[in-house]
């Protein structure tokens, strides 16, 4: 991302280049401002754009954050099942660790990195505290964001919450 100072006086952050190994298409995003790049993200403009602009403009040392989504993997011919066990077998938790840093020799440029990890959701069964935290987060997110993160379908959301609740409740009781 490159910082440009438009006539209005506030910096504008533009996507200049990227190397990507996932679904993000850097060619279609080339030279787009942050607001347009994040257009598909629900509530980005209202909730995050101004604060992210301030973070980008004042960044002095690297920062990081984590993000998550849920993906369902199935064959094209495979019908979606209402059965929790069958559905949970097809769900994967994708966690992204994102970093943002300024280039020391060219401080007008910021480098944004994403490292994705994807594991079967059921592997969380051995991590009750993580299940409790994820359950709480899912319950707080608005429906549009849940849809964006892959858990907006009522049957998927319900199955995931039942699984997370079962794992975290087992920890509390035993």
pLDDT given at position 165: 96
Looking at the structure of the chain, the number of domains it has is 1
Compute the distance between CA of residue 13 and CA of residue 174 in angstroms, rounded to an integer: 50
Is the residue at 25 inside a domain? yes
| Residue 154 · residue 114 · CB < 8 Å | no
| Residue 156 · residue 55 · CB < 8 Å | no
**CB burial of residue 136 (10 Å; 0-12, 13-18, 19+):** exposed
Which value, to the nearest 10 degrees, does the dihedral of the CA atoms of residues 72, 76, 77, 81 take?
Answer: 20
Is the residue at 159 inside a domain? no
Is the residue at 79 inside a domain? no
Is the residue at 49 inside a domain? yes
Chunk the chain into consecutive blocks of 10 residues (it has 174) and report each block's average pLDDT, rounded to whole numbers: 53 73 75 81 83 87 94 72 85 93 90 90 95 96 94 95 93 62
Is the residue at 166 inside a domain? no
pLDDT given at position 6: 52
pLDDT given at position 14: 79
Domain span at residue 20 reads 1-58
Is the residue at 85 inside a domain? no
Is the residue at 139 inside a domain? no
pLDDT given at position 38: 80
Is the residue at 173 inside a domain? no
């Amino acid at each position: 991302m490159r910082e440009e100072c438009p006539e209005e006086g506030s910096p504008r952050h533009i996507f200049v280049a990227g190397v990507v190994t996932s679904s993000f298409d850097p060619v279609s995003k080339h030279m787009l401002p942050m607001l347009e790049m994040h257009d598909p993200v629900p509530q980005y403009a209202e909730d995050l754009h101004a604060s992210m602009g301030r973070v980008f403009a004042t960044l002095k040392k690297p920062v990081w954050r984590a993000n998550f989504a849920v993906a369902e993997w199935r064959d094209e011919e495979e019908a979606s099942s209402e059965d929790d066990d069958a559905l949970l077998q097809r769900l994967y938790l994708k966690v992204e660790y994102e970093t943002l840093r300024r280039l020391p020799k060219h401080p007008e440029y910021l480098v944004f990195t994403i490292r994705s990890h994807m594991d079967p959701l059921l592997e969380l069964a051995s991590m009750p505290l993580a299940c409790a935290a994820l359950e709480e987060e899912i319950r707080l997110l608005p429906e549009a964001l849940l849809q964006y993160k892959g858990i907006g379908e009522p049957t998927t959301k319900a199955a995931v919450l039942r699984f997370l609740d079962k794992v975290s409740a087992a920890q509390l009781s035993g």
